[in-house]
Structure formats: structure tokens, C-alpha cells
């Protein structure tokens, strides 16, 4: 993808997530804002799954192929630095390091709760692509790790 378009998509995603949380926090308080944002991103994942399936030609919905699709989406459109550190028929792990979204949330003095939106969206995408694949977070920046991990497994 052209770098200017990639940068634009990345900034749009970041801006939307930060502004949604900020506006909702002002209107309804932080706890309800986070719950609402997580629901929005979960629904967004349902919307994105068939788009990603078509865009990346995902016909074989195995753990390695779904992980490749998620990793490509992270890199191509959201602008994250991510890699697949483990991939087998039973488990795959995507590592995001560094997480620019986490950094930008903290710089904007927003609570760095972006993981609640991110995880809801990716869990939803993964479930839509293959209901037999389970998502769980691994290491997390919010817990002091130097990265965030997205784990897909049976």
C-alpha cells in the first residue's frame, strides 16, 4: 500500500478511537465510555471481518491463515509494527511492539484503555472468520510488558 494512504488510515483509526473515548467520557463518565467503546469496536470487527476476508483472499480459515490476515491488516491499514512470533495449526501469536496507539493515548492524557477496544475488535474479527478459533491477550503493555500479544488458539 502506498505509504501516504497507510499513514492516513493509521491516523484515522487512532483519531477515531481517541475522539470516541474522549467524547463519550465527557458525556457519560469513564466506565460507561469504555464499555460503549468496546461495544462499538466489537461491532466494527463484525463489519470488518468479511472485508478483510475478501481483501486478503482468505479461503483457508486456519489459525495460521487468520493470523496472517490479522497481522497484514495491522501493518497495512492500521500502521502497527507487528510480527507473527509463533504459528502452528493449534496456536499463533501476533506481537505488537511498539504500540503507537498506547503511546498516543498516554500523550493525550487519555486513560490508556485502548486495549479494551482493540481486543474487542480483534476477538470479533477472529470469531467472524472462524468460530473455532479463540482469541486471548498475551503479554500487555498495561501490565508492564514491552509489547502486546494477540493469541489465537483452538
SS3 29: coil
Q: Residue 102: its pLDDT value, please?
A: 82
Domain 3-153, second-level architecture = 2-Layer Sandwich (3.30)
**pLDDT above 90: residue 45:** yes
What's the confidence (pLDDT) of residue 4? Answer: 86
Q: What is the dihedral of CA 83, 22, 37, 72, to 10 degrees?
A: -20
Give the count of beta carbons closer than 10 Å to the beta carbon of residue 56: 16
Residue 60: the pLDDT is 94
Find the mean pLDDT for residues 47-74.
Answer: 96
- Percent pLDDT > 70 in the chain is 99
* Cα–Cα distance list, 152 to 2, 39, 44 (Å): 29, 21, 19
Considering only residues 68 and 143, tell me which one the structure prediction assigns the higher pLDDT. Answer: 68
pLDDT tens, residue by residue, 108-132: 877 777 788 889 999 999 999 999 9
Amino acid at each position: 500500500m502506498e505509504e501516504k494512504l497507510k499513514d492516513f488510515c493509521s491516523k484515522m483509526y487512532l483519531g477515531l478511537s481517541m475522539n470516541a473515548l474522549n467524547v463519550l467520557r465527557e458525556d457519560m463518565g469513564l466506565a460507561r465510555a469504555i464499555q460503549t467503546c468496546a461495544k462499538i469496536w466489537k461491532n466494527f470487527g463484525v463489519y470488518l471481518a468479511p472485508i478483510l476476508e475478501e481483501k486478503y483472499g482468505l479461503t483457508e480459515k486456519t489459525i495460521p491463515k487468520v493470523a496472517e490476515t490479522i497481522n497484514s491488516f495491522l501493518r497495512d491499514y492500521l500502521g502497527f509494527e507487528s510480527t507473527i512470533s509463533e504459528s502452528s495449526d493449534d496456536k499463533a501469536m501476533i506481537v505488537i511492539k511498539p504500540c503507537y496507539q498506547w503511546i498516543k493515548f498516554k500523550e493525550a492524557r487519555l486513560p490508556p484503555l485502548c486495549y479494551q477496544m482493540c481486543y474487542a475488535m480483534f476477538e470479533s474479527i477472529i470469531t467472524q472468520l472462524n468460530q473455532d478459533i479463540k482469541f486471548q491477550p498475551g503479554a500487555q503493555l498495561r501490565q508492564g510488558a514491552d509489547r502486546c500479544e494477540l493469541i489465537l488458539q483452538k
